Every structure is written in structure tokens, then in C-alpha cells.
Structure 1
Amino acid sequence: MSDFSIIEVRPAKERDAQAIAQIQASAAQAAFKAQFPGETMPEFDSLKKSQAYWREAIEFGDPQVLVAVMDGEVVGFVGFDRSRDPKTPATMGEIWALYARPSHWGQGAGLALWDGAREGLMEEGCTKVTAWVPLGYERALRFFDMAGFKREMTSIKTVQLGLTRIEEIRFKRDLN
């Protein structure tokens, strides 16, 4: 594992949007291949569309976006804000997205990004946080387990990803 001191976490800048879109696409592809070996990857939004989404999110802070930088390269990002789930209190935050380049998995970027998001959510007055994680994405499930999140077994829902239906589970934890 890499030394955590070499990972810088900072607010994303508009120029980071392209790297963020590429990281999301490559990490999602790697996770999908692990879950569905031999199956064709479902169609995702184009990189251009994803890049535009993240550029707008960075510009307007919805969600807030932090990036992890190692040796001058953006290697991961986290998007976080208030929960998007209906009927949740204003003190409920959500990790909207948390991705690292597959080449940097296991090197501490995810943990550094989670720490940054937790601090940001607490500054916003949040006391709890959730994250939706696809069942079968073992690396992500282990990450949230190790970060102290608890699985809400009654929350499982099915979402459409291209032509593929994937079940997701909500994770939840206190921020303090």
C-alpha cells in the first residue's frame, strides 16, 4: 500500500472534469467485468456527456466534488452532498459517486477521498451519510464495510444500466 501522505485531496476544478469522466468509465468497466465476466458492457453515457455533467457539478457545487491527486495525476474522485433519497432529513448526506482509477485501487485514494467527503458533509451539518452500491461489486462493498458503513438489507432496489438490471443496496453510517 502506498504512503497516504503522497495523496493530496483537493476540491475539483473544471479542468478535472475530463479526468473524472475517464476514471468513472474505466472503474465502472472494471467493476462490471468482475461482476459479469464474459458479458458485454452496457452502454454508458458518452465520455463527452459525462465530462459535461461533472464540469457542471464542479461549477455549481451540486454535488460537491473532491479529487485525489498522486504525483500530479488525478487518480480518483468523490461526489457528495445531501441525500437524494425522498423523505430523508436535511442532516442526511450521501456519497453520490466514489471512484479511483483501477491502476490505483488499493493504494489509499478511496480512503483519502472518503475522509475528505466526511469532513465536507460534517461542515454542511450532516450527521449521517448513505451510499448506494451495486450488489456484486465486491471491491466497493468491502470498501464501504471497512469504512464503517452498515448495509440496510431492506433497501435493495433494482436499477437499469443499459440493457442490464443491477441490484443496489444502501449503506449508512454516522459521521462522527
Structure 2
Amino acid sequence: MEIRYITPADDRMAISRVYEESWKHAYKGIIPQDYLDSIPEGSWATVLENPDWSTLVCVDHGSIVGTSSFCKSRFNQFDGQGEIISIYLLPDYMGKGFGKALLESALAELKKQGYKDVFLWVLEENLGARHFYEKEGFSATDDDLNDNIGGKDLREIRYIYGG
């Protein structure tokens, strides 16, 4: 396994496929199935070019199997903090240590960028992700966001890193 920054040579469609497959797996039963089924191929390809974000990829035997994006807080009330925007893996790589390695790399990179405090948002109903982040040193806060994905009202909980 190799974790490194995204390069111009990396296939954006392959990285987008990680998002797409991860969403369809991790959010099954949380986000409406018709919405998940309708996610078009390449949906996240252009998002990866956001100049305000840093993006890592996790490569296993030459294939991109995971990705994480992070940046300075996108929220004024959390100014001066680092934010992990996403961590996604292909379903076959979940639960095998790849997510932990990707998370640790993102945290290390945010620390190098000067962020002492780091947070992320998790869908309240995504108990698997919440358990993972808690096991890795994150704690839930009282901060939340209301969201609507695929016509369903959802709540996101802010987690802060205590490591």
C-alpha cells in the first residue's frame, strides 16, 4: 500500500469510482437507494481539482483503492482548524486497515500544514463510520448540519480529533 498526494497523471475517473462505489456501499439504507443507483460515473472527477483542497490517494498493487481530501475549515465558525472533507475506500478494502492508514496520513499532512485542531462531518445514521472515527481518536460534538440528499433530510455530526 502506498499513500501519496494526487498527481496530474492519476486517473480522475478511477478516483471518482472510489467515491461512487463507497457511497453506494456505505450509505445503503441511509441515503435513498434510487439516488445511490442514479449516481453517474465520474461524478467526483472535477471536484478533485478544487485548488483549496489537498487530496491523497491510497494505491494498492498499482490501483487507486482509496482517497481522502482535506483543507482549512470551510466554515467561518471553525476558522483556524483543519477539516477532513472525505475518506473513501473501495468496498473490498474496507475493514482491512487501509482507512486507518489514509486517516493517519491526512491527519499528519494537516499537522504539517500547521493545524492543531482537526474536524470532520459524519452522517448521524452512518454508525460504521462513527465507530471508526471514535476508535481512531475522534469525539462527537454538539455541532450539526442539516442536509438533504436524494430527497431525504439527514443530519451530520461534527467530530473533532483529540489525538
Q: TM-score, normalized by length of structure 1?
A: 0.83
Counterparts in 2 of 1:5-16, with a 5 A limit? 7-14=1-8, 15-16=10-11
Aligned partner of 2:129 among 140, 144, 149:
140
Q: Matches of 1:16 and 1:66 in 2, distance apart?
A: 13
> Displaced runs of 4+ in structure 1, greater than 2 A?
43-49
Partner of 1:74: 64
The count of corresponding residues between Structure 1 and Structure 2 is 161
The residue type equivalent to 1:66 in the other structure is: L
Query: Quick one: structure 1 residues 86 and 45, their matched pair in 2 at CA, closer, same or farther if it must change by over 3 Å?
Result: farther
The residue type equivalent to 2:124 in the other structure is: L
Question: How many Å apart are 1:20 and its aligned residue?
Answer: 1.6
Task: Structure 1: give runs of 5+ residues left out of the alignment.
Answer: 1-6
Q: TM-score, normalized by length of structure 2?
A: 0.90
Higher helix share: 1
SS for the counterpart of 2:134 is: helix
Partner of 2:20: 25
Query: Quick one: structure 1 residues 134 and 75, their matched pair in 2 at CA, closer, same or farther if it must change by over 3 Å?
Result: same
Query: Quick one: structure 1 residues 122 and 51, their matched pair in 2 at CA, closer, same or farther if it must change by over 3 Å?
Result: same
CA-based RMSD = 1.8
Deviations 1:117-159 (A, max 9, x none): 111111111001000000111221111111100000x212220
CA contact (8 A) 2:58 2:102 kept: yes
CA contact (8 A) 1:32 1:41 kept: no
